[in-house]
Structure formats: structure tokens, C-alpha cells
Amino acid sequence: MALGYDWPYRGDGTSPPAEDHEIDALQRALGVSLPADMREFYKFSNGFNGEFDRRGNYARIHPLAEVLSCTTGYDVARELGLTLIGDNGGGYAFALDHAFEPARYVGLSLLAADRSELKELGANFPEFLASLAAGQA
């Protein structure tokens, strides 16, 4: 599967692709739709785990099974209407904010108390990746 944008992190950290039925099952379980560019990523690689630049900025984009378990397992996701899609290996998470149509990519502490603590990381998946690469998360 080729992406409709440049994926600069070839090799290290990618996983085998997800199938459409796996993505559909996640959407049904969560009751939300993933943005088309996020679906496209999962059909390229079912998650990512590694450095995003030469400075060592690290990020995980969860495989589909972890998206489900993290989103249902953290109160902050349910309370703020988020789908948790990854993290920085610590207490900072990456999420889809479904208060917007289409959903926006945001960052937040897993201890966030309200929406004022969400940091926008992009209106689409390529912008989200650029924010990660720039160390903005």
C-alpha cells in the first residue's frame, strides 16, 4: 500500500498493514469513524514505534488493538470524546478529537482534566506527523 503523502520514516518502527475489516471493527467498537488519512496509514502499517527525527523525538502510533484498549481504558478519552491513537512513551498521548468534523489530531497529558489542556497537532495525518517530527508533541 502506498500512502498519498511522503512517509519519511521507512523501515524502522513500521508493522504489517491492517486489513479493512480490522479497521471497520475498531470503528464499530468505538462508535466513531477514523479520518480517511488515518485509515490509509493503518493500511500501510498497523502502528509505528520509533524515533521521528535525528534529535530522538520518539512516538508510538498504536496498533488497532491498542487504540481500542487505550481509548476504552482511560477516563480522559471517554470524558473528552477522544480516540487515543498513540503516545510519546511517557504520560503524553496523541488522540483524535471528535468534537471536530473531520476529527483533529491533538496531544494531551493522560491526566488532563478538561478540553483546555488539548494541544492541536494537526488537522490531518501529514500535519500530525510534521508536528511529531518538529518535536511539538
pLDDT tens, residue by residue, 56-104: 778 899 999 999 999 999 889 989 999 999 999 888 999 999 999 889 9
Going by C-beta distance under 8 Å and a sequence separation of 6 or more, which residues neighbour residue 99?
81, 115
- Give the model's pLDDT for residue 130: 85
CA 40 to chain CA centroid, Å, is 12
Q: What is the CA radius of gyration of the chain?
A: 14
Going by C-beta distance under 8 Å and a sequence separation of 6 or more, which residues neighbour residue 52?
9, 58, 59, 129, 132, 133
- Give the model's pLDDT for residue 113: 85
What are the residue ranges spanned by the domains of the chain?
A: 20-133
The CA-based angle 29-41-5, given to 5 degrees, is 150
Going by C-beta distance under 8 Å and a sequence separation of 6 or more, which residues neighbour residue 23?
34, 39, 42, 43, 64
- Give the model's pLDDT for residue 5: 54
Class of domain 20-133: alpha beta
* 0.75 exceeded by pTM: yes
- State how far the Cα of 109 lies from the Cα of 78, in Å rounded to an integer: 14
pLDDT(1) > 50: no
pLDDT(10) > 50: no
- Give the model's pLDDT for residue 90: 86
pLDDT(124) > 80: yes
Mean pLDDT computed over every residue of the chain: 87
- State how far the Cα of 25 lies from the Cα of 27, in Å rounded to an integer: 5
Residue 21 pLDDT level (bands cut at 50, 70, 90): very high
Q: If phi over 0 gives left and psi between -120 and 50 gives alpha, with beta otherwise, what is residue 85? A: alpha
- Give the model's pLDDT for residue 4: 56
pLDDT(2) > 70: no
